[in-house]
Structure 1
């Protein structure tokens, strides 16, 4: 929308309660489990733990892998399971404990991804440990193999859960998630779908034997797309859990307390030529959610909680702008704009079906990267990116959702093409009430086209403000190219790879959630108030109204 266009009216009815506000974004994850207890990892976990909306659940890969227990890009290990020279199992929970204890210390909770295969437990038909002296083959694919002995895998999982119960108590561990594996429909699993289902049977039985009230689920497949292995995996997995022959117990079906799959808005690979590519698309994640829901409903599991255990604009967290220049969007205000739009539409999709859908952002931090490398991360060298400020906004939202309608709302599933190229940018959002009388209105201005520019004037009209309020204090927070955006300041400072001293201080000073204007008082007349403000494309505003006491 260009300057001079008619203002976009956004109406909020504070008296029309829609029900509890689902803070369904309180999940995050990353490949490198050992990054959890690095200084940068702990600082970021402390940030999320301090939000105090509700605990963030944290999922990490490689929790059972074999190695030196030191995290590197897309790798981690704990040595939880080894075998002595006679082949007897050796269990060591030292590193697993350090990871889980760190999460709990910072007020987070484990979303335990049970995987991947320990070196000594991998099936020799897929991986020959004896000839892999330097563990190169294990790092390449050995960790993705089925077990040589499913009963030993069962015992490993059982002992892990029991150890956690003995260390943290039944009541605490019952609040955790136990999810098997990650994306078995692609290279993360070198076995067949039948072998994966067999693995789930043994895993679920082990979890429940160790703690009957524990929550176990899966299958954590990639975007469910009709005609692709992801949808077939999800379909066959759910059918088996409903009534297939259980390989572990010999009974019918398998325990399933929650369903998981992944949704990504796009995909990027290394490209030294840095050729332009299409941006992510909200429509793509909605298409995947539609297929996922249809399969869940087909097998009668629509009443279960469903966690999109990776929900992101794209699918390569460790890649950066130096690998593919298109990934630079993760440094900018586009990243939170996309996430705000995607989460908004996925939530509306789920609400229309009374479906409990939750979203996990596969983003964290990377040790040793250049400043604003362009990886999918919440911070870079300890400096918050604009995306973290969106979650700071989310944390301020209240517990009751109230009605919000926008003249510029869009329906991505109706777009003629996935990117909505012919569509105007969307202005939409959510409004909430808190127990202390605060009203929060989050408004985003999004288009999938990361080159789209322009500005809209938002005419926000709020009705049915609580009767006792005569005046409200307005605090207007903003994310855009000039606010809550350390990347913009990094550019001004000459794009330093490793900023130090005063230069780093200046960049970091722009990394917090900033106000668009100083706090001010607005009058309430007959239970209504109104404010107008400009909002650039890919900008997000959070307006906080508090009664003047």
Structure 2
């Protein structure tokens, strides 16, 4: 069946926040060359505005130290690595979305840690010293980068305190938030601070309790943060280095965003605040092969097509597979979260974000599989078709016949496609025999295999209408750009493509 869509002349604002922020592993990874190489790649094509990392205060960044002198404990603040990291971010055209965590060794109240790199998740042994650490760090950043710059960096208090990333109680998190938020505002009232950075466990209870605590105690709260993943419980397989899930519909994340907005609307002091999804993805495990697939590219596209209606940012977790929560990655493709695999190989979902970064500001049409947008001088159409091939029923191609109002007598139609054997380096890697490490030749092959198929043709109006056929196979993603052409052919004497190729000149 072909769906015919008569696209209107005028539309509404497309609330596209897909490149506001992106996630990262711990901040200390920015000291690795490959991490910064990957950041350069995403910034060249996607242009994220902010980056959110764990581990600002972890000991591999090395900010907080204590020394004893004459039986006195003297704090020492070392910003050598932090300066190097922030310099690198700003040089890459991206600002930090600062997450306050985890606990430095000298401020911990216990030994509970998470991740391969042992992030300490216990409350501070001294909340006063924790607050001082925040204020000294922010004042250093202001001195180095300028006050007007640093006040544009949002600050989130901790990470997922409603599960194992916080060893304290809810009440202790609220205490941490109070000390942290007040410390931020004492540095500069204009710096935005928020939380509670929860994941999808007891969401409503945590949000309402947090809102009511902030309102009752008149605590600073400039934005609300939470995380969204759409995977069900892992399917554990014996003797496997990979973890698999069944997945919810991508619209379940949209539903969660709506529900979060509805909860916020019950509190007049909260209702108008920005909502930032500071982590989202399909699976929440960095060993799930779904992250490396063309399925994921199409699946995430459905989320990006509508999430901006409810959230002011939605930060894909993560931009790079330089990531070590479950040990050092054991192979180039291992199910990592990143948009870019090790060896600087773009994954299919990289193009989901690149395509949406090119979307027009005006929304003309949207449904479950396609979005039509427009700027003053061009159309951008993005189509996707995700289907879990583990289901028994086959998926039929999605077919559209789009009728678009003319923007110029002659235009160029460019189509880029992800799916099948195009922009699918996971398939090529499998064809290679799944090498653990890559030699130079294998890297070149995989990087080339990661590029989409690009085709183009001339397009002419007919009675003020362009007629375009769009077919989207199962687990494919595509982008069509329609760009006006200033045809200069007549300026070239005797140039005729038909002479050799039989093409329209």
Q: Give the TM-score of the pair, scaled to structure 1.
A: 0.80
Query: Quick one: structure 1 residues 501 and 137, their matched pair in 2 at CA, closer, same or farther if it must change by over 3 Å?
Result: closer
Aligned to 1:40: 34
Residues 399-440 of structure 1, C-alpha deviations (whole Å, 9 max, x = no match) = x2221145xx3xxxxxxxxxxxxxxxxxx22222234x1210
Within 2, Cα distance between the matches of 1:277 and 1:107? 35
Residues 426-461 of structure 1, C-alpha deviations (whole Å, 9 max, x = no match) = xx22222234x1210101112355556444252231
The CA RMSD over aligned residues, in Å, is 2.4
Q: Would the aligned equivalents of 2:366 and 2:372 in 1 still touch at CA under 8 Å?
A: no
Residues 75-133 of structure 1, C-alpha deviations (whole Å, 9 max, x = no match) = xxx1211211232211111122222221111111101001111111122xx449xxxxx
Q: Would the aligned equivalents of 1:431 and 1:440 in 2 still touch at CA under 8 Å?
A: yes
How do residues 405-484 of structure 1 correspond to structure 2 at under 5 angstroms? 405-406=366-367, 409=368, 428-435=369-376, 437-448=377-388, 451=391, 453-466=394-407, 469-484=408-423
For the pair 1:206 / 2:206, whether they are aligned, the reply is no
Query: Quick one: structure 1 residues 387 and 307, their matched pair in 2 at CA, closer, same or farther if it must change by over 3 Å?
Result: same
Cα shift at 1:258: 1.0
For the pair 1:309 / 2:278, whether they are aligned, the reply is yes
Within 1, Cα distance between the matches of 2:402 and 2:226? 38
How do residues 71-90 of structure 1 correspond to structure 2 at under 5 angstroms? 78-85=61-68, 86-90=72-76
SS for the counterpart of 1:360 is strand
Cα shift at 1:380: 1.9
- Alignment match of 1:285 (pick from 247, 253, 260): 253
Within 1, Cα distance between the matches of 2:111 and 2:348? 43
Query: Quick one: structure 1 residues 269 and 89, their matched pair in 2 at CA, closer, same or farther if it must change by over 3 Å?
Result: farther
Query: Quick one: structure 1 residues 147 and 307, their matched pair in 2 at CA, closer, same or farther if it must change by over 3 Å?
Result: same
Within 2, Cα distance between the matches of 1:405 and 1:184? 36
How do residues 465-504 of structure 1 correspond to structure 2 at under 5 angstroms? 465-466=406-407, 469-504=408-443
Within 2, Cα distance between the matches of 1:165 and 1:288? 36
- Alignment match of 1:393 (pick from 355, 359, 367): 355
Aligned to 2:158: 181
Residues 256-277 of structure 1, C-alpha deviations (whole Å, 9 max, x = no match) = 1111001110143753356974
Q: Would the aligned equivalents of 2:229 and 2:284 in 1 still touch at CA under 8 Å?
A: yes
Aligned to 2:104: 118
Residues 380-415 of structure 1, C-alpha deviations (whole Å, 9 max, x = no match) = 2221111112122122222x2221145xx3xxxxxx
Aligned to 1:402: 363
Query: Quick one: structure 1 residues 91 and 193, their matched pair in 2 at CA, closer, same or farther if it must change by over 3 Å?
Result: same
Query: Quick one: structure 1 residues 140 and 358, their matched pair in 2 at CA, closer, same or farther if it must change by over 3 Å?
Result: closer
Aligned to 2:226: 261
Aligned to 1:8: 3
Cα shift at 1:463: 2.8
Within 2, Cα distance between the matches of 1:120 and 1:277? 39
For the pair 1:232 / 2:205, whether they are aligned, the reply is yes
Cα shift at 1:20: 5.0
Residues 198-243 of structure 1, C-alpha deviations (whole Å, 9 max, x = no match) = 11111111111112211111110011x5xx2x3322211111222x
Within 2, Cα distance between the matches of 1:163 and 1:192? 31
Query: Quick one: structure 1 residues 18 and 207, their matched pair in 2 at CA, closer, same or farther if it must change by over 3 Å?
Result: same
Q: Number of residues paired by the alignment? A: 471
- Alignment match of 1:330 (pick from 283, 286, 291): 291
How do residues 311-390 of structure 1 correspond to structure 2 at under 5 angstroms? 311-317=280-286, 320=287, 327-347=288-308, 351=309, 355-363=310-318, 364-366=320-322, 369-381=330-342, 382-390=344-352
Within 2, Cα distance between the matches of 1:264 and 1:374? 15
SS for the counterpart of 1:494 is coil
Residues 285-333 of structure 1, C-alpha deviations (whole Å, 9 max, x = no match) = 234323322221122322111111111102123xx2xxxxxx2222210
For the pair 1:222 / 2:199, whether they are aligned, the reply is yes
Query: Quick one: structure 1 residues 194 and 369, their matched pair in 2 at CA, closer, same or farther if it must change by over 3 Å?
Result: same
Aligned to 2:493: none
Which 5+ residue runs of structure 1 have no aligned equivalent? Answer: 1-5, 70-77, 129-135, 246-252, 321-326, 410-427
Within 2, Cα distance between the matches of 1:432 and 1:502? 40
Query: Quick one: structure 1 residues 62 and 480, their matched pair in 2 at CA, closer, same or farther if it must change by over 3 Å?
Result: same
Which 5+ residue runs of structure 2 have no aligned equivalent? Answer: 323-327, 487-505
Cα shift at 1:48: 2.2
SS for the counterpart of 1:88 is strand
Within 2, Cα distance between the matches of 1:105 and 1:142? 28
- Alignment match of 1:160 (pick from 133, 137, 142): 137
Aligned to 2:124: 147
